[in-house]
Structure 1
Amino acid sequence: MPFHPRNQHQGHYDFAALTSRNKALKPHLTRNPSGEQTIDFADAVAVKELNRALLQTQYGLSTWDIPEGYLCPPVPGRADVIHAIADLLNTSHDGQLPPGNALYGLDIGCGANLIYPLIGQAAYGWHFVASDTDQMALDNARRILTANPDFLPTITLRKQADPAQVFSGMIQPDELFDVTLCNPPFHADQATARAANQKKWQQLGKRESKRDPGLNFAGQSHELICPGGEAGFLQRLIADSQAFATQVFWFTTLVSKAANLPTLRQQLEKQGVTDLRVIDMAQGNKHSRLLAWTYLDKKQRRAWRRKRWQAAE
């Protein structure tokens, strides 16, 4: 499945442009069997330098970094999520994207990379609250913002002090969000995380490194693992969303495992959502989907558009 039409990452990477912005990428360039320039995507450092270069050349960042051992998300795939959310908002505003300066998003689990708020702000001018339970991740996100001051006025960081909660404590009583987004932990325990890691290595045709078995599939335990795995986390997220039914237009989350969808759908229907959508997010060997729901009825949606979006046009 190709990238979204508005995704800047179409076709082959322009390594000449990328290495001109990030010279640290150049030593990692190699050739594939067809003679085309590429990198070794099993090399964690090479992948990080590629992502840094993409953020610098196409999203206006002066610099970007993450600590060793934290997830290094693929920028093109994360951009596709943002564009899919923009399309979702289009459908809620008569086929027109609401003004960027009027849109506020809440990123649940922003991580050390802060990737969704950075892309959402650069591509559409959206405002974000970025939350996480990990203080080290938030400290790094703060360093990214400090190094890129143009993003500071539009991205706010919040610490979730209670890991058992999702939206509670993050959405204040007087706040409204046009969209929430989340990339949930995948695995229930270390064993399943390890098995998934090995499968990724096999897909790349590599042997797992004894020195560093994580490489670019690394991640802090809370980024990858939670009680009940992806299904358990999303069931808690969905349950918590009901308390904020009138404060959020669209709740969204990625769902990696298609087998989890029937249970999540059933839970959402029991909680009285008025609209539920599943948007395919597959690219290459990676298959995922964006689950979106709202509790607002048609009258409430019209009022939301009038007060928040049309007033800003």
Structure 2
Amino acid sequence: MPPLSLLDNCKRPYYDGDVDFDTLATKDQDFAAICQQSKTKKWIDFQNPKVVQQLTKSLLKADFGLAVHLPDDRLCPPVPVRWNYVRWLQELLDTTSDEYSETYDSERKVLGLDIGVGASCIYPLLACSARPSWRMLGTDIDPHSFEHAHRNVEGNKLQGRIRLVLSKNEGPLMPLDAIGVEEMDFVMTNPPFYDSHDEMQASYTGKDAPPSAVCTGAENEMICPGGDIGFATRILEESLKLRGRVQWYTAMLGKMSSLQQIIVKLKDLGIGNFAVTCLQAGYRTKRWAVAWSFQDYRPRIDVARHGGLVQAVLPPAPAQTILLPLMGATWAGNKIDDLLNKLDVKWQWKKQSSMGVMEASQNVWSRSARRKKQFKQSSGAEPDGEEEGEECTVALAVKITCKHEAAELRWLRGQDYILFQSFSGLLKRELTGKP
């Protein structure tokens, strides 16, 4: 990954492969000092705690301009998967703004909460170093980790944007009222993965290879009641009370089976706006994350369904493509523009870019809705609609992009997937003559 000075840090990409030790050694002398050389490339001893610590320090320094202190008796966080979690959160927020934007908005002020910052405080540091308009809150129940986290925040001169709170184990995980916050944009956590020592040991048995790196984590970092499922379930239960006060509730998970169980819980609760990701970075390390929202802004499809995942955990696809063989963008755009101008919807069409956004307060394209409109027009009655200047309730918002031989539909807003499918079907029938 290129150094911070050579890359737009607000759009820094995912780590998608193993760390290139040869390249990192040229950037950081401290890392070069702990590398060993084979005939073809450099390698390191992942079972040596000091070596693993130096890898984390050197990556944070070379790629993000961060300097951290890591105590020997606490978890040493691998950087690539941690950054990939932050990067996914960036994309979640970038594609679910009220501006219907698909890109980073440098003017948007973002506030996030990291539950369990750990001694490194890596998530708040990564989030704030990458985007200057972001602020972070962080909690931890361990005074020892909390002390080191403070040191890392102050050492990177981010105390004006990162606020740490020492919390209690029996208290709420998201104490918005206690810390004086009315709303925030996201919650994140990298919870303890295991329910007990026995479960932790069992996770290493039967594998073809030993753990990829030595683990120095304290018990409270590795074990909690119910493991990662129990922790994520606590967040889910609290989110049912906080609801829209947080736009995105998220959690990292250690096993695909944990992700599957959380998705079942979301569906049982009727929470349909969710996103999933596989945060693989390199050959061996693989984690999963889930996000859910009570708001109605829908993430882009590659964000909602990110990484290699099984069909059972995927959310409804927030996109449709209508294939139009031999037809051009102008033809499709004219057909769609003509159709939507006849419906009681808010329609903004940009002819030059062959792109438009439709907002509807209800299904106004069904046969019954169109018959009702025709009856009112013939009888001289006022059409349904909002008074001038009155804000319209949005039940569905869709971005339509016309291209050569295709029309692409992107679900921007709404809670009803069937309504999105219905609108997509309308356009397909209009453009192709087929159901």
Report the TM-score when normalising by structure 2.
Answer: 0.60
Relative contact order, CA 8 A, sep 6+: which one is greater? 1
Unaligned runs of 5+ in 2: 1-10, 298-392, 397-435
* Corresponding residue of 1:154: 161
CA contact under 8 A between 2:117 and 2:123: conserved in structure 1? yes
* Corresponding residue of 1:142: 150
RMSD: 2.9
Q: Which amino acid is 2:123 matched to?
A: Y
* Corresponding residue of 1:307: none
* Corresponding residue of 1:289: 288
CA contact under 8 A between 1:168 and 1:240: conserved in structure 2? no
CA contact under 8 A between 2:74 and 2:216: conserved in structure 1? yes
* Corresponding residue of 2:390: none
Instruction: Tell me: CA distance 1:241–1:183, structure 2 relative to 1, closer, same or farther (3 Å).
Output: same
Looking at CA atoms only, which structure, 1 or 2, has the larger radius of gyration? Answer: 2
Distance apart, 1:239 and its partner CA: 0.6
CA contact under 8 A between 1:89 and 1:98: conserved in structure 2? no
* Corresponding residue of 1:97: 104
Q: Which amino acid is 2:289 matched to?
A: L
Give the structure with the higher percent helix: 1
Distance apart, 1:81 and its partner CA: 1.0
CA distance, structure 1, for counterparts of residue 160 and residue 16 of structure 2: 27
* Corresponding residue of 2:262: 264
CA distance, structure 2, for counterparts of residue 196 and residue 170 of structure 1: 38
* Corresponding residue of 2:26: 17
Q: Which amino acid is 1:47 matched to?
A: V
* Corresponding residue of 1:29: 35
Q: Which amino acid is 2:95 matched to?
A: T
CA distance, structure 2, for counterparts of residue 45 and residue 183 of structure 1: 23
1:158-177 map, 5 Å: 158-163=165-170, 165-168=172-175, 172=179, 174-177=181-184
* Corresponding residue of 1:229: 227
Instruction: Tell me: CA distance 1:131–1:301, structure 2 relative to 1, closer, same or farther (3 Å).
Output: farther
Distance apart, 1:111 and its partner CA: 0.5
Unaligned runs of 5+ in 1: 206-214, 303-313
State the Cα deviation string for residues 127-162 of structure 1 (Å, max 9, x = none). Answer: 10011111111100111122221x121111011123
CA contact under 8 A between 1:104 and 1:178: conserved in structure 2? yes
CA contact under 8 A between 1:272 and 1:295: conserved in structure 2? no
State the Cα deviation string for residues 27-82 of structure 1 (Å, max 9, x = none). Answer: 321024x5201211221110101111121222122x31121121111112211111
* Corresponding residue of 1:275: 273
Instruction: Tell me: CA distance 1:235–1:218, structure 2 relative to 1, closer, same or farther (3 Å).
Output: same
Distance apart, 1:256 and its partner CA: 1.6
Q: What percentage of aligned pairs have identical amino acids?
A: 25
Q: Which amino acid is 1:31 matched to?
A: Q
State the Cα deviation string for residues 9-32 of structure 1 (Å, max 9, x = none). Answer: 866232333433xx3x34321024
1:115 lines up with 2:113 in the alignment: no
Match of 2:261, SS? helix
CA distance, structure 1, for counterparts of residue 26 and residue 16 of structure 2: 13
Distance apart, 1:102 and its partner CA: 0.5
CA distance, structure 1, for counterparts of residue 180 and residue 295 of structure 2: 17
Distance apart, 1:274 and its partner CA: 4.4
> How many aligned residue pairs are there?
285
CA distance, structure 1, for counterparts of residue 182 and residue 79 of structure 2: 29
CA contact under 8 A between 1:189 and 1:226: conserved in structure 2? yes
Q: Which of 195, 201, 209 is the aligned partner of 1:194?
A: 201
Report the TM-score when normalising by structure 1.
Answer: 0.81
Distance apart, 1:103 and its partner CA: 0.9
